[in-house]
């Protein structure tokens, strides 16, 4: 059975085509999100099919998840991102008990039971604090790209204290630190530590290991280490941390199609 999963995030579109029988991912892609979610998702699916050497009729199901899932009219199924991220991560790390997912405009902490069953979750989708948007703002103020932010933080002496987790007030705080001679390296490390504390506070009680970190922020160098320090636990990152939602959508879609 060949299936596709599309994760329509707030900042990017992610997609995979999966051979359910062999477990092989036949195609994968990440694209910038835009205003016309449905059209962009169609273009993404066409590029995935072309990469896999398939046609639309070869797919048993297309499943959409994420922020924009309800705008993807051609999807056969639409499933929440909580369920899809859980399914995708469990496929890669069967023993996982906690998932931290940080995307461009929201963050989630998901607790799992045996067999990958979702026990509960916490989600921040009302504020940019603790999301990729917060790191993007920091990178702009420090005049580096996101890829350079981790390198800066890695050279920090003592992380600068960032007291505000509101993006607007934190931006003012960063400007003040720079004006008073604060080192960019220390500010970068301070922002990452503040974000990690925000995620830990959202999780509430101590997370049960193993912990897996996914989402776009998982690709930012140094942030996994900041999470490990704050959580006091080792944190694993998948090879393609932005694709776990799309992978889970494909897997859950295959289950539904099989019924």
* CA pair distance 14, 63, nearest whole angstrom: 12
Q: Helices 167-179 and 184-203: crossing angle, nearest 10°?
A: 150
Beta-carbon contacts of 125 under 8 Å, excluding residues fewer than 6 positions away, are 105, 106
Q: Are 31 and 40 in contact (CB under 8 A)?
A: yes
Whole-number Å distance between alpha carbons of 192 and 13 = 25
Q: Confidence class of residue 13 from pLDDT cuts 50, 70 and 90?
A: very high
Ordered by start, the domain boundaries in the chain are 2-88+242-258, 95-237
Fold category of 95-237 in CATH: Nucleotidyltransferase; domain 5 (3.30.420)
Whole-number Å distance between alpha carbons of 68 and 53: 26
pLDDT at res. 170:
76
Instruction: Please give the distance of CA 235 from its chain centroid, rounded to a whole number.
Output: 14
Q: Report pLDDT for 140.
A: 86
The predicted-structure confidence for 24-46, as pLDDT tens digits, reads as follows 999 999 998 888 888 999 999 99
Query: CA 226, CA 160: separation in Å to the nearest integer?
Result: 14
pTM for the model: 0.88
- Name beta bridge partners: 36: none
Q: Which residues contact 180 (CB under 8 A, 6 or more apart)?
A: none
CA distances from 97 to 111, 114, 173, 249, 258 (A): 6, 8, 36, 19, 27
Res 182: pLDDT: 87
Coil, strand or helix at 149: helix
Residue 167: per-residue pLDDT: 61
Inter-CA distances, 196 with 5, 34, 217, Å: 29, 28, 11
Specify the CATH number of the domain 2-88+242-258.
3.30.420.40
Most confident of 66-75, 85-94, 125-134: 85-94
Task: Examine domains 2-88+242-258 and 95-237 and report if their fold is the same.
Answer: yes
Structure-block tokens of residue 230? 């704050």
Nearest to 104 by CA among 38, 169, 43, 33: 33
Positive or negative, the Cα torsion across 225, 231, 234, 239?
negative
Kindly state the average pLDDT of the residues 213-233. Answer: 91
Of the chain, the percentage scoring pLDDT greater than 70 comes to 95
Who has greater pLDDT, 16 or 127? 16
209, 98 Cβ separation under 8 angstroms: yes
Is the model's pLDDT at 132 over the cut of 90? no
As a whole number, mean pLDDT of residues 194-213 equals 86
pLDDT at 165 over 80: no
Residue 155: what pLDDT?
85
How is residue 22 annotated by DSSP?
Answer: T
Strand (E) or helix (H) holding 60: none
Q: Which residue has the tokens 């140094």?
A: 222
Q: pLDDT tens digits, residue range 135-153?
A: 888 888 888 887 788 888 8
Judging by DSSP bridges, how do beta strands 61-65 and 2-8 pair with one another?
Answer: parallel
């Amino acid at each position: 059975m060949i299936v596709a999963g599309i994760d329509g995030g707030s900042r990017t579109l992610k997609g995979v085509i999966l051979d359910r029988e062999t477990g092989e991912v036949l195609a994968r892609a990440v694209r910038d999100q835009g205003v016309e979610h449905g059209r962009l998702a169609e273009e993404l699916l066409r590029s995935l099919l072309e990469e896999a050497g398939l046609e639309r009729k070869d797919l048993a199901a297309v499943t959409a998840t994420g922020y924009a899932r309800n705008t993807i009219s051609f999807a056969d199924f639409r499933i929440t991102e909580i369920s899809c991220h859980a399914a995708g991560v469990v496929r890669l790390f069967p023993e996982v008990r906690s998932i931290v997912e940080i995307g461009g405009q929201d963050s989630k902490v998901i607790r799992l039971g045996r067999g990958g069953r979702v026990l509960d979750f916490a989600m921040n989708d009302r504020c940019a604090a603790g999301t990729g948007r917060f790191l993007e703002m920091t990178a702009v103020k420090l005049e580096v790209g996101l890829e350079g932010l981790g390198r800066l933080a890695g050279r920090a002496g003592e992380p600068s204290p960032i007291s505000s987790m509101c993006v607007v007030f934190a931006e003012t705080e960063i400007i003040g630190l720079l004006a008073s001679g604060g080192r960019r390296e220390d500010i970068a490390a301070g922002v990452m530590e503040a974000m990690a504390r925000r995620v830990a506070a959202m999780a509430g009680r101590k997370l049960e290991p193993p912990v897996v970190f996914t989402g776009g922020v998982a690709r930012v160098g140094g942030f996994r280490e900041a999470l490990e320090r704050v959580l006091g636990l080792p944190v694993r990152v998948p090879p393609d941390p932005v694709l776990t939602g799309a992978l889970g959508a494909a897997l859950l879609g295959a289950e539904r199609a099989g019924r």
